[in-house]
Amino acid sequence: MADQTQVMQENPFGIQQMLAQGGVVAKSVFAIMVIMSFASWYIMLTKLWDQRRVRKAYKEMEKSFWVAGNLRDGISKLTGKDNAFKMIAEDGIRAAQHHEGRLTDQIPLHEWITVSLHRSVDSIANRLQGGLAVLATTGSTAPFIGLFGTVWGIYNALIAISLAGQASLDKTAGPIGEALIMTAIGLFVAVPAVMAYNWLLRRNKDIIEKLRYFAADLHSYLVSGARIDSGAAPAARPATGAAVRK
């Protein structure tokens, strides 16, 4: 048991030995990989939380928004901080109320509302996409950064062999261990980043599609008084505070 403990403590292939014996390049590469890993996991968790919040807001909207008497009452039923569907509805109402003006008189009301809703949806979509570029960059560059550390470790091993005049294990174990660790760390950082990027991107597409469907229904309701997919008779024109012209 004591022999095994001593072997573990003197293991030349461990991370502690690499940091203790490695040069500036090895330590710099390791620090960069650690920073990239922490940044990736932070973005993964925050983006997942944002998506969960929007999905929860969508379920709440489907349950309570369209059954309200008018848009104002429907908006009041949408709760939560930074509710995406509440922001879109408020932007739609604001566009309908502020259509009158010297410049906007030349634009039909339905086009004016469409532009406002598209701008609102795009703003939310950009916020959901924020940070995914870091995951993509990490997934594509981390293996190469680890490969650079691997090449540098092998280079140090060759120098040690040249100085010793023979390929003894005690001269090459440290640099070779450094090279192997760099390769493993590069893959450890890159693989979760790539998987998370693809997963979050697919979930974002589904959320953005829901946002666009809601914006389309809201546009139809503001212009005609009924949703596109509504099978019932057209509802009363929404009380937006201003007459809505076709």
Mean pLDDT score of the chain, rounded to an integer? 78
**Weakest-pLDDT range from 21-25, 72-76, 124-128, 148-152:** 21-25
The whole-angstrom separation of Cα 76 and Cα 226 is 19
Burial class from Cβ neighbours inside 10 Å (0-12, 13-18, 19+) for residue 142 reads buried
At residue 144, does pLDDT exceed 60? yes
126 versus 22: which is more confidently predicted?
Answer: 126
CA angle 224, 228, 230 (to 5 degrees): 100
| Domain assignments of the chain as residue spans, ordered by start | 22-143+154-224
Cβ within 8 Å of residue 179, ≥6 positions away? 149, 150, 151, 152, 153, 154, 157
221 versus 227: which is more confidently predicted?
Answer: 221
Region 140-151: what's the mean pLDDT?
88
Region 119-125: what's the mean pLDDT?
91
At residue 203, does pLDDT exceed 90? yes
Whose CA is closest to 204, among 136, 154, 116? 136
The whole-angstrom separation of Cα 26 and Cα 153 is 8
pLDDT digits (tens, 9 = 90+) for 15-39: 666 666 667 777 888 889 999 999 9
Structure tokens at 163: 């100085």
Cα 22 to Cα 111, 159, 177: the distances in Å are 64, 14, 10
Residue 80 three-state SS = coil
At residue 41, does pLDDT exceed 90? yes
For residue 231, the model assigns a pLDDT of 44
**Weakest-pLDDT range from 92-101, 191-200, 233-242:** 233-242
DSSP codes joined into one string, 120-144: HHHHHHHHHHTTHHHHHHHHHHHHH
Helix axis angle for 169-224 and 109-129, nearest 10°, is 160
At residue 139, does pLDDT exceed 50? yes
Phi-psi region of 198 (alpha: psi -120 to 50; beta: other; left: phi over 0): alpha
Cβ within 8 Å of residue 90, ≥6 positions away? 75
Report DSSP state, residue 54: H
Residue 66 three-state SS = coil
Percent of the chain whose pLDDT exceeds 90: 30
114 versus 190: which is more confidently predicted?
Answer: 190
Q: Which helix (H) or strand (E) holds 109?
A: helix 109-129
